[in-house]
């Protein structure tokens, strides 16, 4: 049974240029790296931590002689190969290949994908890629931004150099809020929607304040106008002005008709008519061009929306494809689908039993990793382009609105010019036109006021919508916090029980462990206590820390809601003057726990005093190292 997220190391390769310094395979369950003290066991565990995305500042001199570490891992059942250059410089990149290490070594560089340590606006980090393959959420944190793979691994690796009384692998900048976020994530009690809601509430608060300030300014302007500005009042005023303008136009037309009967056409007036006509024609052409552009953008947006939807479905299908393939298995026909004659099923599983075409099911499955990452990148780029198209569409709509207003004004002038005014009674006609222009300006001013009033109504509605959304998000967060508290309690109780059971089975060296009733731990405070006590002998502290890491994994294998990868590395099993008999007893406890756990998991430990009954290939990795024959073979 596999519970996701699930991480398992299959093979580790360490190279110094073209020379192989270490190349061993690992298996599910308990893995023991054994050897004499100072023979390189901890160096191998550090390489595992680093290859999976951890950051190391305490490289050994021997380790820095190596140039590259490559690791084959199963991520939720999908096989991928991870490779990083060995360097004492921080933030090294990671190359990822979708498939086993053997194929990765033969593959051209074009089949690998390179990811940086830190994310960028247009580029993913390797933590994002690994979290996606593990189906782990990208958790945001106010102090350090998004949690990385390195931060998660700090809670999966009990190393020798970190203080034995601390839970997390040591690093200088380590705020309690960050540790608490990591612990909650691994225990399945971190709801990323809660953090996203908080960010959204902050953004909405800023929008609410900006809209309120704009509303106050507009209301102040309308207040100085001395009228109770409403859309109804403006509509009534517009009707009065339109009636006056219509009457004035009738009078102008009558005067022009009388003048026209007294004279022939006026050449100056005809030139004005031609000029206005050309202007109207130009505006119409520009409007047509903008309409074509608007329709083109709308069509592109529609096509892109369908493409994005298809990518989202493809990504979801890829995430499920491995599970479906395992469940359904190979499809075999009993009869020919064409003539219905019985088929003889052969034993060759490397070719199609129907058409005999060669195929490699495992190779196809291993490519899922690359397809998931490639599809995710396509989806990100398509969404970015869609956002740009939306902005372009809004810009075109705004330009069309302005162009239509200019076209209407030109059309009115053209209509007036076609009336062919003459030169008779010029003073009277000029006065009529002056009055008409004044009315036009009054109507334009009224339209501006109407736009302001309409904007006030829109802002008022927007303010109300923002306030409602803030209230909804706050109510949602309260419900999520209550659910989180319940899940935290369940997870912490499960971990405490597992750790307590391990302490009870420790050798009789620490009275507090024999009678332990409750284990308390605090990720933020980075501490563990037994019945409120924290002072024990150095070796007992090592047992307590190791018990916590193993107990955390055991709880995760029995509770599906944990986001723990069901994987841990332990290098504290014989720290601080540990007796061989006590260390070997604890090794057996880990082996028994691993054997009784139904869910897939992996525990990797290092020891210089392996229990004799565990010194067999079922548990061990490679051969035992010595001071003369070290784990890391440096040429």
Q: pLDDT tens digit string along 483-504?
A: 888 888 999 999 999 999 999 9
Q: What is the mean predicted confidence (pLDDT) over 100-120?
A: 92
Dist. CA 559–CA 254, nearest whole Å: 91
| pLDDT for the residue 268 | 44
CA distance 395 to 401: 10
Contacts of 513 (CB under 8 A, 6+ apart): 503, 504, 506, 530, 540, 543, 544
> What's the pLDDT score for residue 233?
64
- Angle in degrees, CA 555, 557, 562, rounded to 5: 70
Q: What is the mean pLDDT of the chain?
A: 84
Q: Express each pLDDT in 438-485 by its tens digit.
A: 677 777 776 767 777 777 788 888 889 999 999 999 888 888 888 888
Question: From CA 554, how far away is CA 495, in angstroms rounded?
Answer: 8
- Residue 607, pLDDT score: 94
Q: How far apart are CA 624 and CA 604, in angstroms?
A: 15
Cross-strand pairs, 533: 530
How confident is the model over 565-620, as pLDDT tens digits?
A: 999 999 988 866 788 999 999 999 999 999 999 899 999 999 999 999 999 999 99
Instruction: For 167-212, write each residue's pLDDT tens digit.
Output: 999 998 888 988 988 998 999 887 667 777 887 888 899 998 988 8
d(CA 101, CA 186): 28
Mean pLDDT of the 379-392 span:
89
pLDDT band at 421 (very low <50, low <70, confident <90, very high): very low
Tokens 């880990």 locate to 590
Strand partners, 374: none
Query: ∠ CA(107), CA(110), CA(116), 5° rounding?
Result: 110
pLDDT at residue 141, as a whole number? 56
542 CB neighbour count, 10 Å cutoff = 25
Q: What's the mean pLDDT in 14-25?
A: 95
- Segment 135-148, tens digit of pLDDT: 888 776 554 567 89
In degrees to the nearest 10, what's the CA dihedral of 456, 459, 464, 465?
150
CATH of domain 7-186+505-614: 3.40.50.300
- Supply the pLDDT for residue 423: 44
Q: Which residue would you say has higher pLDDT here, 231 or 423?
A: 231
DSSP character for 123? B
Residue 412 has pLDDT above 70, yes or no: yes
Better pLDDT: 338 or 198: 198
Sign of the Cα torsion 443, 448, 450, 451 reads: positive
Position with higher pLDDT, 232 vs 75 = 75
Percent of the chain clearing pLDDT 70 (strictly above): 82
**pLDDT on residue 422:** 43
> Reduced to 3 DSSP states, what percent helix, strand and coil does the chain have, rounded to the nearest 5?
55, 15, 30
Domain spans in the chain, listed from the N-terminal domain onward: 7-186+505-614, 267-326+363-419
Mean pLDDT of the region 213-240:
68
| Tens digit of each residue's pLDDT (9 = 90 or more) over 275-307 | 667 887 888 888 888 888 889 999 988 988 988
pLDDT digits (tens, 9 = 90+) for 525-569: 999 999 988 888 888 999 999 999 999 999 999 999 999 999 999
CA nearest to 255, candidates 459, 432, 491: 432
User: Cα separation of 583 and 179, whole Å?
Assistant: 29
Q: Above 90 in pLDDT, residue 79?
A: yes
**329 Ramachandran zone, left/alpha/beta (phi>0; psi -120 to 50):** left
What single-letter DSSP state applies at residue 29? Answer: E
Confidence label for 249 from pLDDT (cuts 50, 70 and 90)? confident
Q: What pLDDT, on a 0 to 100 scale, did the predictor assign at position 130?
A: 95
pLDDT for the residue numbered 67: 95
- Rounded to whole angstroms, how far apart are CA atoms 627 and 609? 15
pTM over 0.75: no
Least confident range of 172-181, 340-349, 371-380, 586-595: 340-349
- Which position has the token pair 């047992």? 543
Confidence of residue 226 (pLDDT cuts 50, 70, 90): very low
């Amino acid at each position: 049974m596999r519970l996701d997220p699930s991480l398992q190391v299959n093979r580790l390769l360490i190279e110094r240029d073209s020379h192989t310094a270490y190349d061993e395979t690992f298996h599910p369950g308990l893995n023991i790296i054994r050897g004499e003290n100072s023979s390189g066991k901890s160096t191998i565990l550090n390489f595992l931590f680093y290859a999976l995305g951890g950051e190391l500042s305490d490289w050994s001199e021997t380790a820095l002689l190596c140039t590259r570490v490559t690791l084959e891992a199963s991520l939720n059942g999908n096989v991928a190969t991870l490779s990083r250059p060995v360097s004492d410089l921080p933030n090294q990149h990671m190359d990822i290949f979708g498939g086993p290490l053997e194929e990765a070594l033969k593959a051209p560089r074009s089949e690998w994908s390179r990811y940086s340590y830190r994310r960028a606006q247009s580029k993913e980090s390797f933590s994002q890629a690994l979290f996606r393959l593990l189906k782990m959420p990208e958790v945001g944190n106010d102090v350090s931004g998004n949690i990385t793979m390195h931060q998660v691994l700090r809670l999966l690796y009990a190393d020798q150099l970190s203080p034995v009384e601390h839970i997390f692998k040591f690093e200088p900048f380590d705020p309690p809020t960050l540790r608490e976020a990591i612990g909650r994530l691994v225990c399945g009690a971190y709801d990323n929607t809660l953090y996203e809601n908080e960010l959204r509430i902050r953004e909405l608060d800023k929008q609410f304040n900006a809209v309120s300030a704009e509303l106050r300014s507009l209301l102040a302007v309308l207040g100085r106008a001395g009228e109770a500005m409403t859309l109804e009042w403006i509509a009534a005023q517009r009707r009065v002005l339109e009636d006056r303008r219509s009457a004035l136009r009738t009078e102008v037309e009558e005067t022009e008709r009388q003048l026209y009967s007294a004279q022939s056409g006026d050449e100056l007036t005809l030139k004005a008519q031609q000029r206005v006509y050309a202007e109207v024609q130009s505006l119409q052409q520009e409007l047509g061009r903008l309409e074509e552009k608007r329709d083109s953008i709308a069509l592109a947006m529609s096509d892109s929306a369908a493409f994005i939807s298809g990518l989202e479905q493809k990504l979801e299908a890829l995430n499920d494809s491995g599970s479906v393939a395992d469940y359904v298995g190979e499809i075999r026909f009993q009869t020919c689908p064409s003539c219905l004659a019985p088929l003889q099923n052969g034993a060759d599983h490397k070719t199609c039993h129907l058409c005999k075409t060669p195929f490699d099911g495992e190779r196809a499955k291993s490519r899922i990793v690359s397809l998931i990452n490639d599809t995710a990148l396509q989806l990100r780029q398509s969404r970015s382009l869609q956002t740009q198209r939306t902005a372009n569409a809004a810009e075109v709509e705004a330009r069309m609105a302005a162009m239509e207003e200019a076209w209407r004004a030109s059309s009115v002038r053209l209509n007036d010019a076609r009336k062919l005014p003459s030169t008779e009674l010029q003073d009277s006609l000029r006065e009529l036109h002056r009055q008409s222009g004044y009315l036009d300006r009054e109507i334009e001013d009224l339209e501006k006021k109407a736009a302001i009033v309409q904007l006030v109504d829109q802002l008022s509605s927007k303010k109300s919508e923002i306030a409602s959304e803030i209230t909804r998000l706050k109510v949602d967060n309260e419900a999520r916090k209550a659910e989180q508290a319940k899940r935290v309690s369940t997870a912490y109780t499960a971990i405490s029980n597992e750790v307590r059971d391990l302490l009870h089975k420790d050798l009789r060296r620490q009275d507090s462990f024999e009678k332990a009733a409750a284990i308390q731990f605090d990720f933020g405070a980075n501490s563990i206590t037994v019945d409120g006590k924290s002072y024990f002998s150095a070796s007992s502290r090592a047992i307590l820390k190791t018990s916590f890491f193993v107990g955390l994994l055991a709880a995760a294998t029995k509770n599906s809601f944990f986001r723990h990868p069901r994987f841990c590395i332990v290098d504290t099993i014989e720290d601080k003057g540990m007796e061989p008999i006590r260390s070997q007893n604890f090794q057996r406890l880990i082996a028994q726990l691993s054997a009784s756990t139904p869910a897939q998991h992996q525990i990797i430990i290092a020891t210089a005093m392996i229990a004799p009954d565990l010194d067999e290939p079922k548990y061990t990795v490679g051969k035992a190292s010595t001071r003369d024959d070290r784990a890391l073979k440096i040429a």
